[in-house]
Amino acid sequence: MTRRGEAYMERVFGAEDMERFTKVMDIYWPDLRKLIVNYCYGLYQSERSVLADIDTSRISLASLVTMDVPKQLSWHIRGFMNLGGTREELIKTLDIAKTIVDIVGVNLQNPIPDIDETIKSLKLV
């Protein structure tokens, strides 16, 4: 699961960011690293028997919008593009998530990151 999770995370975040991110996790929260790499990514995110990578990424994006966590959302916006998503698909996905937020009455405290700025400039750490 560790190798599978790391390989998938590298596809999503890129090799350079993945290396920086795992070094920080190893120093400050190795137990959380194991949870994230093995279970979140090794078991769930990288599973392809039901959904394609891009569809799993869409679900992650929608979840992160509703959780109101702009930093993590930024990482996954860029990850969506790394997995082959298009800017138009990304906009549609975020629009659907924002509509859901509005319908259920979630009061977001943070703005959704700017798509273009996020795609070209974001580093994980």
Predicted TM-score of the model (pTM)? 0.86
Type of residue at 32: L
CA distance 8 to 94: 22
17 CB neighbour count, 10 Å cutoff? 20
From first to last of its 125 residues, what are the pLDDT tens digits of the chain?
A: 999 999 999 999 888 888 888 899 999 999 999 999 999 999 999 999 999 999 999 999 999 999 999 999 998 999 999 999 999 999 999 999 999 999 999 999 999 999 988 877 755 54
